[in-house]
Chains A and B, each alone.
Chain A
Amino acid sequence: MNILKFIETFTDDSLMKSTGSRRDSFSQFGNIGKNLAFAAIPFGLSAFANKALAADITPTPATPIGALQFALTLEYLENEFYAMALDSGVIPASENGGRDLKVFQQIAAHESDHVKFLIAGLGGTMSANFVPKPTFDFTVGGAFNPFGDYPTFLALAQAFEDTGVRAYKGQAANLISTPDLLTAALQIHSVEARHASEVRRLRGLKGWISNAERGAGMPTATQAVYDGEGVTMQAGYNTASLFGAAAGSEAYDEPLTTQQVVNIANIFIV
């Protein structure tokens, strides 16, 4: 099973029957819902139903709802990952004098908040726009042991946070027609970046990504998270000209397309 299948199940069941008031479904979002209701959102998301997020079919629906649903799936992944880690005891309470545990408790709290926030933004769990949590396998069929081996947990945490930063960035244009949703997404995006920086620094790396390097100790399988990060040409300006390519690439984080993120997320979805 992959992300495509779960999208298909919910879309076929509920999205096609979505005849209710979109305004109502977003009422929990306050002003955000109000603005979204006035935005030009394709009501019949049948194209999304069958094609969105499909690993083998493009493209992603360039809609605010699609972006929110996509974000929610990523937040489900992060939230469950950290919750399971905290439950498992894999994070040594004494690590760095207790620092690591404090860090991941804070990150876990934020991811949990993001899940709740996005569900509310989609109109709640009864909304036609709600997407359920997929089933995750963070061991990837036994290849990884993140809840028994702390370095593996740290490596996956870094990969998820750096992916999150790139994923939200890739959705920004899909939210440009809904200013309040765009702002909220940006407000999550920068939190993911704060997380990413701290997790990287716990692992002894810089808080920012040099070139397209995944960094020491990262499994080869995580390279897809970093491919394309080494850009040094921004709007015609060579960012490597002053201090070299590493600094130039560090100064800008690059987006991932929905397809690229789906390919990464699919590794952990069963």
Chain B
Amino acid sequence: MKNEVKIHEVDPSLNNRRSFLKLSGLTLVGAGLVLAGCSDNDNDDDGNMQDNTLPGIKNGVFDLGSGDFGVLTYAYALEQLEADFYTKVVNASNFNATFNDIERQVLTDLYHHEVIHRDFFKAALTGALPDPGSQLLPSLAFNYGSMNFNSRTEVLATAKALEDTGVAAYNGAGKLIKSPDYLLLAGKIVSVEARHASAIRSLINPNSSDFAGDDVINTSTGLDVAKDPSKILPIAGGFITTKFTAKYLP
């Protein structure tokens, strides 16, 4: 069987959240970093991958499906997370005091862009899925644990991780898309995610090369990160409390 990428099998996955925070550069408290349910079968032969599995409930759990609808639904899940995060950021009680003018402008723009992306995917999928009533990914629920939305450091570090993850996710998903039109749409979005990542990194460490830092851009090829869904979902899933699976994506 292909990947058993199960997001959030039981309850808010502390381990996954820790891994996410590690990615974001925040200090971890405690130990036991395990990616629950994460498959490492990256190099599996994709020949057996079902390409026409529609999103929807399977064995009682929503699965993202495969093919173009699967990839779009995967993107919709990630955009839901980003949109929810920035909505909480700009609505935090001390938003105006926590961030300076430039930072507020950037974070407000990101809030706008990600909400637009989320609603775009919802509209596009609703219009394109054969039976959106059963095949449209529901609105997901999120839990950010103890994260302090009035902490500049925590918000920017999480934003950086989210944007870098978004870039890696879209870069990795492009090859899974069959339709040139959908591929172009993903391309239109991923470069904006990369612009975001650059800006957030620049806010965190302005006098540096971090906007396209050696931690994400390969120092011999000049290539950004690209990751399969099975590598992305355990990371993003740390904040997602709604159970879903991605058994038909690599």
Binding site for B on A (CB under 8 A): 96-99, 102-103, 105-107, 109-114, 117, 165, 168-169, 172-173, 176, 179-180, 182-184, 186-198, 201, 206-208, 234-237, 239, 242-243, 247-248, 250-255
Contacts of B187 in A (CB 8 A): 168-169, 172, 186, 189, 253, 255
CB distance from B203 to the nearest CB of A (A): 9
Smallest Cβ-Cβ distance to B114: which chain A residue: A251
29 CB contacts below 8 A, A to B, read A106-B211, A107-B212, A110-B212, A113-B219, A113-B221, A165-B191, A173-B180, A173-B183, A176-B183, A183-B226, A186-B190, A190-B167, A190-B190, A194-B211, A194-B217, A195-B212, A196-B198, A197-B198, A197-B199, A198-B199, A207-B199, A208-B195, A236-B123, A237-B120, A242-B119, A247-B109, A251-B192, A253-B187, A254-B188
User: Interface residue count for B (Cβ, 8 Å)?
Assistant: 56
Mark the stretch among B4-12, B48-56, B171-179, B229-237 that contacts chain A: B171-179
> Are A191 and B172 in contact, CB atoms less than 8 angstroms apart?
no
| Cβ-based interface call for B224 (8 A) | yes
B194-205 CB mask vs A (1 if < 8 Å, else 0) is 111111001000
| Cβ-based interface call for B117 (8 A) | yes
Contacts of B215 in A (CB 8 A): none
Chain B, interface SS category: helix
| Bound form: Cα–Cα A235–B4 in Å | 32
| Cβ-based interface call for B189 (8 A) | yes
Contacts of B177 in A (CB 8 A): 176
**Which 3 interchain pairs have the tightest Cβ spacing?**
A113-B222, A193-B194, A179-B175
> Are A236 and B116 in contact, CB atoms less than 8 angstroms apart?
no
| Cβ-based interface call for B113 (8 A) | yes
Chain A, interface SS category: helix
> Are B191 and A99 in contact, CB atoms less than 8 angstroms apart?
no
| Bound form: Cα–Cα A102–B109 in Å | 26
> Are A208 and B113 in contact, CB atoms less than 8 angstroms apart?
yes
> Are B212 and A252 in contact, CB atoms less than 8 angstroms apart?
no
| Bound form: Cα–Cα A190–B177 in Å | 17
